[in-house]
Amino acid sequence: MRLQNKKAIVTGGAGGIGRATSLAFAAEGASVAVVDLNADAAEAVAEEIRAAGGTAIALAADVSSEADIERVVASVVDELGGIDVVFNNAGIIRRTTAVETTVEEWDRVFGVNVRAIFLMCKHVVPIMAANGGGSIVNTGSGWGLKGGGQAISYCASKGAVVNMTRALAIDHGPQGIRVNSVNPGDVDTGMLRDEAKQLGQDQAGFLAEAAERPLNRMGQPSEIAAAVVWLASDESSYVTGSALVVDGGGIA
């Protein structure tokens, strides 16, 4: 019970990594706010937690909207009684080069992957600071560290997540707030399948290629969740500003 009595927000909580982390947080004793654009799927995850005896609420929101973030933060404080942990995990990918990317697509990717984290921190940090601290984990990507092909807006946005995490850690460490990024390699979720579709590639072939790394397989959402639980918990009390890579050795 490493998160006993903690109140946690998980954005993108209805997706592959977000759902696994919401369940893992709840299993460690946290009350969880499952935040997602997909209201029904968020409710299903919250219900799954409640059915297992945990505490969870579902909140429908577009995390790129400041009004939605303000509503989410107010609801969580009201309904769960505070905020100790935030997992900024909602994300989208567009598999295009700079030449193929429209300005609208670029702005949308940055809105969801980058602005949302800024907005959440803007509104959550004062609450955590008043409470003596907290832990924020942001989802970067291996491609935020080393780059990748045909995903210019995504790679740029995830690079921003990694460095924004360091800047947040510097600014808010003195307030007892730790901020780290988790950087997955290819994880078996809907996003990966959608990428194959965007690229017009055969799904089985795309997934087989994703498994080409030292551990010889894709990651499972629960393996990212395990790393996030550690970063969220007091077990990582001297860790801040770090970029934890969880990718089966793909970065090497």
Q: Which two tokens stand for residue 12?
A: 């993108």
Among 27, 191, 199, 239, binds ligand NAI (CB under 6 A): 191
Among 31, 135, 189, 242, binds ligand NAI (CB under 6 A): 189
Contact status: 37 vs ligand NAI (CB under 6 A)? yes
Contact status: 159 vs ligand NAI (CB under 6 A)? no
- Is 22:54 a contact under the CB 8 Å cutoff? no
Active site residue 154: yes
Using the structure block, give the residue that is written with the tokens 């924004």. Answer: 164
Question: Which residue number, 131 or 222, has a Cβ lying nearer to ligand NAI?
Answer: 222
- Helix extents (H) in 4-87: 16-27, 39-51, 66-80
Contact status: 48 vs ligand NAI (CB under 6 A)? no
User: At its nearest, how many Å lie between ligand NAI and the CB of residue 46?
Assistant: 13
Count other Cβ atoms within 10 Å, centred on residue 216: 9
CA distances to 40, 41, 60, 169, 228 from 15, rounded to whole Å, are: 12, 8, 13, 26, 15
| CB closest to ligand NAI, residue no | 15
Residue 21 identity (one-letter amino acid): T
d(CA 227, CA 208): 24
Contact status: 251 vs ligand NAI (CB under 6 A)? no
Q: Which two tokens stand for residue 9?
A: 């927000």
Catalytic residue among 3, 17, 154, 221: 154
Q: What track of x and - describes contact with ligand NAI for positions 3 through 32 (by CB under 6 A)?
A: --------xx-xxxxx--------------
CA 122 to chain centre: 17
Active site residues: 154
User: Which chain residues interact with ligand NAI by CB under 6 A?
Assistant: 11-12, 14-18, 36-38, 61-64, 89-92, 112, 139, 141, 184, 186-187, 189-192
